[in-house]
């Protein structure tokens, strides 16, 4: 089946096959990678290769550190202010959907969180223009959600924030197109969309930002300590790290982020085209200029058709299309691992369903 789940999301078939083949014994180690010590030579090699490949894939400059974490993107959202802001200091949040709101909520106990711009009144169908943002002059950082996974709203230009570092949540769009990381103080992502398995996340951070004192915190919540310990201050999620490594390697083998950018643009265009040409049978309400290339939420003109749509789609091998409960309707998540054939199959199904029910 083609799996349109928003996350955990579909993984490339070659990655799953390699993981299957290596499940019982990793190389000649006499045990599975999931059974071996994270301090042993086999896992250390996996971890180092993964970082090297990720650096290559995303063109990460040397003056940016890469930290692998557990606890998901949400934990990173809570640790950002503890690591990069002083107690009571302002931090600016640009809220363009559900996940921006979550980031704000996680930060509130630790900083004077300021909502610099908010798309909620407009139902998160657009991104407030940069000129309308109310930034604090002394903010520790400005936080944006590069791609809102639920609302299907994506920044297509990186906003300027002057001397204040920009922090971007790229959970659902990392590695989907080339990105100039130097425009950010930090970017982060849970892995379970474009980087592979759930259970591990990645923080890419300017080493200068890491110099900040931040606020009192336990060692385990301290990104400097994590970096010093090579992301192994405690037992890391080694299986997930290994899977992430396989996924990153697969993306490099396929041609890297430029190739995925081209594929993703084509995939998104196919779906939005079916929606826009359906004469109102399907609709996506997001302003065209900021429509997500990764998550395409859409509604049928009659809610009574939702159930038959999902049932018939599943029977045709098109699964996990049910929209997030906050929005209802449908959502097709079309990350890097979703082949163009999968998107074409969905587009064909949508047209056929309309012909039979329109
Ligand atoms: N940010 C974005 C954009 C997301 O899509 C998600 C999860 O779907 C999260 C944050 C939360 O990630 P996690 O579940 O890894 O904490």
Has 114 been labeled as part of a binding site? no
Has 73 been labeled as part of a binding site? yes
- The residue whose C-alpha atom lies closest to atom 10 belonging to ligand 1 is 73
Contacts of 98 (CB under 8 A, 6+ apart): 124, 148, 149, 150, 151, 324, 326
Cis ω for the linkage preceding 115 (within 30 of 0):
no
For a substitution probing ligand 1, which of 73, 124, 335 has the most ligand atoms within 8 Å of its CB? 73
- The residue whose C-alpha atom lies closest to atom 12 belonging to ligand 1 is 73
Compute the residue count for the chain.
Answer: 358
What is the reported pLDDT for 124? Answer: 98
Has 62 been labeled as part of a binding site? no
Please state, for a pLDDT cut of 90, what percent of the chain lies above it: 99
Contacts of 103 (CB under 8 A, 6+ apart): 77, 80, 93, 143, 145, 169
Task: Identify the band that residue 186 occupies on the pLDDT scale cut at 50, 70 and 90.
Answer: very high
Q: What mean pLDDT is predicted for residues 154-178? A: 97
Q: What mean pLDDT is predicted for residues 76-82? A: 98
Task: Identify the band that residue 303 occupies on the pLDDT scale cut at 50, 70 and 90.
Answer: very high
Has 234 been labeled as part of a binding site? yes
What is the reported pLDDT for 187? Answer: 98
Q: What mean pLDDT is predicted for residues 281-302? A: 98
Q: In what order do the strands lie in the sheet with 166-169?
A: 64-69, 201-206, 186-190, 166-169, 142-145, 90-95, 112-118
- The residue whose C-alpha atom lies closest to atom 4 belonging to ligand 1 is 171
What is the reported pLDDT for 90? Answer: 98
> Which CATH code fits 256-357?
3.90.1150.10
- Of all atoms in ligand 1, which is nearest to the CA of residue 145? 3
Quote the ligand 1 centre to 218 CA distance (angstroms).
23
> Which CATH code fits 14-254?
3.40.640.10
Task: Identify the band that residue 341 occupies on the pLDDT scale cut at 50, 70 and 90.
Answer: very high
What is the reported pLDDT for 277? Answer: 98
Q: With the C-alpha atoms ordered 200, 201, 205, 210, is the resulting torsion angle positive or negative? A: negative
- Of all atoms in ligand 1, which is nearest to the CA of residue 146? 3
Outline which parts of the chain fall under CATH 3.40.640.10: 14-254
Return d(Cα 298, Cα 303) in angstroms, integer: 11
- Of all atoms in ligand 1, which is nearest to the CA of residue 147? 3
Quote the ligand 1 centre to 74 CA distance (angstroms).
6
Pocket of ligand 1 (CB under 6 A): 7, 72-74, 99, 145, 149, 169, 171-172, 190
- The residue whose C-alpha atom lies closest to atom 15 belonging to ligand 1 is 72
Neighbours of 193 (CB within 10 A): 30
Outline which parts of the chain fall under CATH 3.90.1150.10: 256-357
pLDDT digits (tens, 9 = 90+) for 6-56: 999 999 999 999 999 999 999 999 999 999 999 999 999 999 999 999 999
Quote the ligand 1 centre to 357 CA distance (angstroms).
35
Has 17 been labeled as part of a binding site? no
- Of all atoms in ligand 1, which is nearest to the CA of residue 149? 5
> Is residue 246 within 8 Å of 17, Cβ to Cβ?
no
Quote the ligand 1 centre to 190 CA distance (angstroms).
6
pLDDT digits (tens, 9 = 90+) for 111-125: 999 999 999 999 999
pLDDT digits (tens, 9 = 90+) for 259-277: 999 999 999 999 999 999 9
Quote the ligand 1 centre to 98 CA distance (angstroms).
10
Q: What mean pLDDT is predicted for residues 59-82? A: 98
Contacts of 352 (CB under 8 A, 6+ apart): none
Average pLDDT across the chain, whole number = 97
Residues with a catalytic annotation lie at 99, 169, 193
Reduced to 3 states, what is the DSSP secondary structure of residue 185?
coil
What is the reported pLDDT for 312? Answer: 98
């Amino acid at each position: 089946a083609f799996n349109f789940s928003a996350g955990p999301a579909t993984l490339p078939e070659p990655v799953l096959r390699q993981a299957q083949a290596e499940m019982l014994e990793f190389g000649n180690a006499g045990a599975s990678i999931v059974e071996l010590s994270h301090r042993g030579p086999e896992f250390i090699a996996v971890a180092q290769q993964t970082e090297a490949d990720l650096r290559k894939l995303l063109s990460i400059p040397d003056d940016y550190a890469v930290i692998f974490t557990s606890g998901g993107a949400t934990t990173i959202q809570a640790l950002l202010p503890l690591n990069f802001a002083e107690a009571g200091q302002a931090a600016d949040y640009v809220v363009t959907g559900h996940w921006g709101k979550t980031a704000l909520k996680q930060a509130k106990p630790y900083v004077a969180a300021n909502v610099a711009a908010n798309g909620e009144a407009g139902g998160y169908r657009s991104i407030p223009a940069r000129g309308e943002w109310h930034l604090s002059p002394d903010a520790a950082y400005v936080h944006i959600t590069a791609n809102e996974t639920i609302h299907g709203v994506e920044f297509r230009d990186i906003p300027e924030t002057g001397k204040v570092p920009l922090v971007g949540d790229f959970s659902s769009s990392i590695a989907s197109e080339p990105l100039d990381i130097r425009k950010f103080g930090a970017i982060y992502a849970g892995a379970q969309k474009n980087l592979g398995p759930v259970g591990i996340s990645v923080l890419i951070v300017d080493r200068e930002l890491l110099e900040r004192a931040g606020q009192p915190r336990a060692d385990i919540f301290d990104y400097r300590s994590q970096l010093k310990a090579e992301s192994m201050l405690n037992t890391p999620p080694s299986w997930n790290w290994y899977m992430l490594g396989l996924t990153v390697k697969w993306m490099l083998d396929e041609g890297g982020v430029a190739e995925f950018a081209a594929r993703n643009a084509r995939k998104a265009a196919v779906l939005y085209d079916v929606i826009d040409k359906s004469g109102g049978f399907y609709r996506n309400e997001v302003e065209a200029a900021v429509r997500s290339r990764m998550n395409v939420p859409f509604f049928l003109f009659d809610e009574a058709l939702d159930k038959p749509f999902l049932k018939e789609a599943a029977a045709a091998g098109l699964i996990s299309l049910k929209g997030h409960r906050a929005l209802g309707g449908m959502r097709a998540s079309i990350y890097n691992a979703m082949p163009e054939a999968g998107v074409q199959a969905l587009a064909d199904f949508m047209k056929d369903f309309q012909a039979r029910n329109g």
